[in-house]
Structure 1
Amino acid sequence: MFCSSLRNRPVWRVLGPILTSGPEMSLRESRLETHDFVFEIPSSRRQQQLRVILLTPSSQPPNGQDTTTRLEQFSTSTGGRGIAIAFLLSEEAFTSASGRCILDGLVDAQALLLDTLPISIPIIPIQDSAAFLPSMQEYINGLANTPQPNPSPSLPTSLLAHTTSAPYHLLSETDTNILSDLFPSLPALSRAVRTRKGRALVMDHFDAETARRILEFWEGDQGP
Structure 2
Amino acid sequence: MVRKLAAELLGTGLLVYVAVGVATLSFGFGTTGTSYAAGVVATALAFGLTLLALAYVLGPISGCHVNPAVSLGALLAGSITLVEAVGYWGAQFVGGILGALLLWGTFAGSPAYSRSTTGLGADGWGDASAIHINGGGAFLIEVVLTALFVFVVLGVTGRTANATMAGLTIGLALAVCHLIGIPVTGTSVNPARSLGPALIVGGTALDQVWLFIVAPLVGGVLAAGLHRVLFPKPAPVPRVNPGGTET
The TM tier, using the shorter chain, reads under 0.3
TM normalised by structure 1 equals 0.27
TM normalised by structure 2 equals 0.26
Q: Which structure has greater strand proportion?
A: 1
Q: Who wins on radius of gyration, i.e. which is larger?
A: 2
Q: Which structure has greater helix proportion?
A: 2
Greater relative contact order, per chain length (Cα 8 Å cut-off, separation 6+): 2
